[in-house]
Structure 1
Amino acid sequence: MKEFIYPEMMVHVPLCTSKDPKKVLMISENASRLAKEMLKYKGVKTKAIEPCLEAISNLEDDLFDVIICEMESDIKLLAQIDRISKEDALLCITHPPLDEVEANKAMMKDLARYFKIIMPFNVGGSKTALLASKKYHPTADINLQRADMLDDNEYYNCDIHVAAFAMGNYIRKEYLGIIKN
């Protein structure tokens, strides 16, 4: 897999879905690869922290429009993410491979406590992430102008954005009633 695909998808999918992203939190041990993509968004403030529940719990309430998380999810983490998220926030979070159905169903059920829309999407090769949104739908509410005006992408564009959410019927059947779209 090309190394540029993952960071482009983890950053541009949620930022081109959010109506007006102003503040973004990156929870990652390797935020520099995501930060490079964030530089394409003028006027968006970015904060990077290590994947540690204590670091998240020290953040202010209702602060972030978008959260990009490369941390193993649990209900304590999601409660903190909900607390620091604005009312129309989006979360892009890594998760187990889709064929680990029970682990993913549990995670998606936990996410459903806080987010209205939960959809897996392809972030390159066989890797997927979850986009969880309190308000905006990743294919219906894509900001096409923002997506098309991004410069210097090697992979991401508005067509890839929509296509990343396509999945085979065998996956849809496994997650019927769990994926919220």
Structure 2
Amino acid sequence: MKTFIYPEMMTHVAMCTHKNPRSVMIISNQSDLIKVEMGRYREVDTEYLDANNLLTALRDRADKESDVLLLDTLSDDSAVFAHVNRILKDDALMVLKHPDLDDVSANTKLMQILGNYFKIIMPYHLEDGSTLLLCSKEYHPTADLILQRSDLLEGHHYYNCDIHIAAFAMPQYIRKNYLGIIRN
């Protein structure tokens, strides 16, 4: 996979879905490429946290401080997501890594935990067949796409508004496997 696809899709899908992202938290051990993408949003305060001490890092955060969270690590710890919910604003969204969609059991567990906190839970495709998971308290990633923001982005190699929408198309077997679990 080309190294620019993952950071562009993790960053811009979230940033072009949220109506007015002003505070972004990124939790990653390799955030250099995501930092490049976040640099395109000059009016956004961005904070980077190390993913190695995930629960400790989240415990120290203030309530309702972030509009967007990019979680560049796998977790299915319900305590982690309780803290995520606490630090996210009422209209916030999060993008995170998750197990391969063929692992229905692991994803079902994760999505059920996330369902306690988010109205919308939708996987989306990357070019290599892997997926990320968008979880939103308010905004739908295709219905609420900010076209002007996505069209005015410059300097990216992969992301655009058409890719954004197309990434959420799921094959029928995925729809069947996750019926009632994926929330869209």
Which secondary structure state, in structure 2, belongs to the residue aligned with residue 115 of structure 1?
coil
Percent identity (aligned): 50
Structure 2 residue 111 is the aligned partner of structure 1 residue 114: no
CA distance in 2, matches of 1:80, 1:107: 15
Which secondary structure state, in structure 2, belongs to the residue aligned with residue 90 of structure 1?
strand
TM-score under structure 2 length normalisation? 0.97
Residue in 1 that maps onto 2:32: 32
Residue in 2 that maps onto 1:67: 69
Structure 2 residue 93 is the aligned partner of structure 1 residue 78: no
CA deviations 1:114-149 (Å, max 9, x no partner) are 000000001331211100000000000000000000
Q: Point out 4+ residue stretches in structure 1 off by more than 6 angstroms.
A: none
Residue type matched to 2:123 in 1? P
Residue in 2 that maps onto 1:50: 50
Which secondary structure state, in structure 2, belongs to the residue aligned with residue 161 of structure 1?
helix
CA deviation after TM superposition for structure 1 residue 96, in Å: 0.4
The 10-residue stretch of structure 1 (142-151 or 120-129) with the greater mean CA deviation from structure 2: 120-129
Contact 1:93 1:131 in 2 (8 A): yes
CA deviations 1:1-55 (Å, max 9, x no partner) are 1110000000000100000000000000011111110000111010000112101
Which secondary structure state, in structure 2, belongs to the residue aligned with residue 124 of structure 1?
coil
Contact 1:10 1:123 in 2 (8 A): no
Residue type matched to 1:146 in 2? R
1:101 to 98, 104, 119: 104
CA distance in 1, matches of 2:87, 2:122: 21
Residue type matched to 2:46 in 1? T
Alpha-carbon RMSD: 0.7
CA deviation after TM superposition for structure 1 residue 98, in Å: 0.3
Residue in 2 that maps onto 1:127: 130
Which secondary structure state, in structure 1, belongs to the residue aligned with residue 173 of structure 2?
helix
Which secondary structure state, in structure 2, belongs to the residue aligned with residue 25 of structure 1?
strand
The 10-residue stretch of structure 1 (119-128 or 82-91) with the greater mean CA deviation from structure 2: 119-128
CA distance in 2, matches of 1:70, 1:49: 10
TM-score under structure 1 length normalisation? 0.98
In the comparison of the two structures, how many residue pairs are matched? 181
Residue type matched to 1:37 in 2? E
CA distance in 2, matches of 1:42, 1:124: 27
CA deviation after TM superposition for structure 1 residue 71, in Å: 2.4
- Flag structure 2 segments of 5+ consecutive residues without an equivalent: none
CA distance in 2, matches of 1:85, 1:54: 16
Residue in 1 that maps onto 2:158: 155
Residue type matched to 1:2 in 2? K
Residue type matched to 2:81 in 1? L
CA distance in 2, matches of 1:26, 1:66: 8
